[in-house]
């Protein structure tokens, strides 16, 4: 098998990386692209971390791998049940399993939804896990004691420190920005040290790491990094924060350079992001709008106010746990899904619309959403409204939102019971955009080339081809001929093989425990801190 390395940069976008390469902040990345190939990488219909990275890891769309959000929810008679998606919710085989079962060895570091980890040949240290539970989710178990022996190893700095990450809210005080950025500078170094240790001591055929600090910095620091939004006459504080952001990217460039050196000249290096980033300036409070149109009814909250006066207002402004289900036909479930769910009478709770009215109801709802406009300009604020069939075709389509909203500034919706319906942000903030990055360098790859846009599902077949394995015939992604030299492809044609194996066969678990209630609560708090959950 051929050595192949994947470097994930969560949220990376050329609109930030290109200026950093041009001004000398990321010299190695510039050298990498001068000797390699680049393309835009189109994310999933809703460009969000879990569905997008899992599409990259499986070569399948969310409609086929079954993960649409951070959170899985089930509607019950009078309420909803929530839990976090984890590895067991991925409904198809990952590249880690595909390589492993064909006598290859893999290393997967900091990728989301990889806990509890599968029993593969190689190493998994998952992302989206609190430091208290990291040890139980490392595969194989004997790897964790070795990591603890690494100089300066600190699980609190490696995994998610939730007290620190609570600082990443839009109300974050100026004095906390510095600690936030320094924490992620330190955290990326810890992940790099693990990568370096494994590459030196037990090299794998497919080695992958995810640096997710890019996303974290751009959410709160977009205006410090994007040239058009940084003030012409910045304050001393603004200059200090920008310089810290540049320090992060300078260090990241160094990590990528050393990883490439460790991999050697015979290895292929691929760099990809789950989505891009861009500016956001407004918020659409969709449940407030649905209420105004008669689709959604809030519960009477008087008894909450009487029972707990101290926390009443916070509770009343909470999300759909306070919906009157008997009088609600459509609602938004989470901020991150950017989706609206239509309630259909399933014959048990006798609330929601009759099944035979679904198509006409949905059509009318779309028509009304198309009228939501900026009062000042008359411009529509919802750029596209996608049905579940359009956004998430596949065998697990029924779990997807009935409608997915693409806002004109790609912002996340709000699900809170607050006014006004359209809220103008006081400052421009960073948010997920669909156009991410793809870069590659190594034997057979074009040099200094820019190729047409790829889809995120195309990464998995590309990695398998690079390793030297057949591409499963049931992948949604395609092997992109455009990134390889034609003579190399002629001498090394890719092969289409049989389908991936059933999910029940490839998800044998290690001895780690399923995420417990305490850990789920911690993760929920983390997602709230980042603005992903209200």
As a whole number of angstroms, the distance between CA 403 and CA 343 comes to: 12
Concatenating the DSSP letter of every residue in 225-252 gives HSGGGS-SS--HHHHHHHHHHHHHHHHH
Residue with token string 């969560």: 10
Which candidate, 485, 480, 435, places its Cα nearest to that of 458?
Answer: 480
Q: Which residue has the higher pLDDT, 422 or 174?
A: 422
- Give the model confidence (pLDDT) of 422-444 as tens digits: 999 988 899 999 999 999 999 99
- Give the model confidence (pLDDT) of 289-348 as tens digits: 999 999 999 887 665 556 655 555 555 444 555 788 889 999 998 889 999 999 998 777
Residue 330 corresponds to which tokens in the numbers above? 């459509």
- Give the model confidence (pLDDT) of 193-222 as tens digits: 999 999 999 999 999 999 999 999 999 889
* Whether 390 contacts 63, CB under 8 Å: no
Residue 488 corresponds to which tokens in the numbers above? 């190399």
* Whether 386 contacts 404, CB under 8 Å: yes
What's residue 77's pLDDT?
57
As a whole number of angstroms, the distance between CA 243 and CA 161 comes to: 23
Q: Which residue has the higher pLDDT, 312 or 86?
A: 86
CA atoms within 13 A on the CB side of 150: 21
As a whole number of angstroms, the distance between CA 495 and CA 492 comes to: 9
As a whole number of angstroms, the distance between CA 378 and CA 374 comes to: 5
Query: Which helix (H) or strand (E) is 219 found in, with range?
Result: helix 213-225
- Give the model confidence (pLDDT) of 389-407 as tens digits: 999 999 999 999 999 999 9
CA atoms within 13 A on the CB side of 20: 25
As a whole number of angstroms, the distance between CA 298 and CA 319 comes to: 10
Question: Is the peptide bond prior to 524 cis by the omega test (within 30 degrees of 0)?
Answer: no
Q: Which residues contact 281 (CB under 8 A, 6 or more apart)?
A: 409, 411, 424, 425, 428, 429
All structural domains of the chain with their residue ranges: 4-275+434-529, 281-429
- Name the average pLDDT for the chain: 89
Which candidate, 48, 175, 172, 212, places its Cα nearest to that of 427?
Answer: 172
As a whole number of angstroms, the distance between CA 359 and CA 366 comes to: 11
Report yes or no on whether pTM surpasses 0.85.
yes
**470: helix, strand or coil:** coil
As a whole number of angstroms, the distance between CA 513 and CA 13 comes to: 36
As a whole number of angstroms, the distance between CA 305 and CA 313 comes to: 8
Pick the range with the lowest mean pLDDT from 109-123, 325-339, 479-493, 499-513. 499-513
Which candidate, 8, 485, 6, places its Cα nearest to that of 267?
Answer: 6
Residue 333 corresponds to which tokens in the numbers above? 């479930």
Stretch 32-42: mean pLDDT, rounded? 98
What's residue 48's pLDDT?
95
Q: By percentage, how much of the chain surpasses pLDDT 70?
A: 85
Residue 201 burial by CB count (10 A; 0-12/13-18/19+): exposed, middle or buried? exposed
As a whole number of angstroms, the distance between CA 17 and CA 14 comes to: 5
Which candidate, 413, 406, 407, places its Cα nearest to that of 391?
Answer: 406
CA 450 to each of CA 40, 360, 438, 494: distance values in angstroms, whole numbers, following the listed order: 9, 45, 10, 22
What's residue 71's pLDDT?
80
**118: helix, strand or coil:** strand
CA 143 to each of CA 6, 209, 297, 437, 512: distance values in angstroms, whole numbers, following the listed order: 21, 16, 52, 32, 13
* DSSP character at residue 141: T
Residue 92 corresponds to which tokens in the numbers above? 């198809």
Residue 408 burial by CB count (10 A; 0-12/13-18/19+): exposed, middle or buried? middle
Binning pLDDT at 50, 70 and 90, where does residue 168 land? very low
Which segments of 469-515 does DSSP mark as H helices, in order?
Answer: 486-491, 503-506
Domain 4-275+434-529 has CATH 3.40.720.10: yes
* DSSP character at residue 318: S
As a whole number of angstroms, the distance between CA 164 and CA 387 comes to: 38
């Amino acid at each position: 098998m051929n050595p192949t390395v994947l470097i994930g940069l969560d949220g990376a976008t050329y609109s930030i990386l290109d200026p950093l390469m041009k001004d000398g902040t990321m010299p190695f990345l510039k050298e990498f692209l001068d000797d390699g190939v680049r393309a835009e990488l189109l994310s999933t219909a809703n460009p969000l971390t879990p569905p997008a990275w899992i599409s990259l890891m499986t070569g399948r769309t969310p409609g086929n791998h079954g993960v649409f959000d951070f959170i899985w929810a089930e509607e019950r008679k009078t309420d909803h049940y929530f839990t976090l998606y984890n590895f067991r919710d991925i409904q198809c085989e990952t590249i880690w399993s595909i390589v492993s079962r064909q006598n290859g060895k893999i290393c997967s570091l900091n990728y989301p939804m990889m806990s509890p980890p599968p029993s593969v040949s190689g190493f998994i240290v998952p992302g989206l896990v609190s430091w208290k539970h990291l040890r139980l989710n490392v595969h194989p178990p004997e790897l964790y004691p070795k990591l603890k022996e690494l100089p300066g190893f600190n699980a609190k700095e490696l995994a998610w420190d939730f007290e620190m990450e609570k600082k990443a809210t839009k109300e974050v005080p100026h004095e906390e920005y510095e600690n936030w950025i320094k924490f992620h500078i330190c955290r990326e170094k810890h992940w790099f040290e693990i990568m370096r240790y494994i590459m030196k001591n037990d090299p794998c055929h497919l080695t992958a790491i995810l640096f997710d600090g890019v996303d974290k910095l751009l959410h709160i620091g977009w205006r410090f990094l994007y040239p058009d939004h940084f003030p012409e006459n910045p304050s001393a504080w603004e200059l200090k924060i920008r310089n810290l952001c540049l320090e992060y990217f300078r260090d990241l460039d160094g990590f990528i350079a050393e990883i490439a050196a460790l991999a050697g000249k015979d290895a292929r290096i691929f760099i990809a992001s789950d989505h891009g980033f861009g500016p956001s300036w407004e918020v659409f409070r969709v449940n407030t709008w649905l209420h105004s149109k008669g689709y959604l009814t809030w519960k009477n909250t008087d008894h909450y106010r009487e029972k707990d006066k101290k926390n009443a207002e916070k509770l009343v402004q909470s999300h759909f746990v306070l919906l009157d289900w008997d009088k609600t036909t459509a609602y938004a479930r989470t901020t991150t899904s950017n989706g609206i769910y239509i309630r259909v009478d399933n014959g048990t709770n006798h609330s929601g619309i009759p099944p035979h009215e679904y198509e006409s109801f949905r059509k009318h709802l779309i028509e009304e959403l198309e009228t939501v406009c900026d009062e000042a300009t008359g411009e529509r604020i919802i750029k596209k409204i996608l049905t579940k069939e359009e956004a998430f075709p596949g065998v697990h389509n029924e779990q997807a939102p009935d409608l997915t909203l693409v806002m004109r500034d790609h912002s996340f919706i709000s699900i809170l019971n607050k006014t006004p319906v359209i809220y103008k942000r006081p400052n421009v903030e960073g948010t997920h955009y669909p156009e991410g990055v793809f870069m590659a360098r190594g034997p057979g790859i074009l040099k200094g080339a820019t190729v047409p846009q790829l889809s995120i599902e195309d990464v998995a077949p590309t990695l398998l081809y690079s390793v030297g394995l057949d591409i499963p015939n049931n992948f949604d992604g395609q092997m992109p001929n455009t990134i390889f030299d034609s003579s190399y492809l002629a001498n090394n044609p890719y092969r289409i093989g049989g389908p991936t194996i059933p999910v029940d066969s490839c998800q044998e678990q290690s001895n780690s425990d399923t995420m417990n209630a305490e850990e789920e609560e911690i993760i929920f708090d983390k997602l709230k801190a980042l603005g992903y959950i209200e």
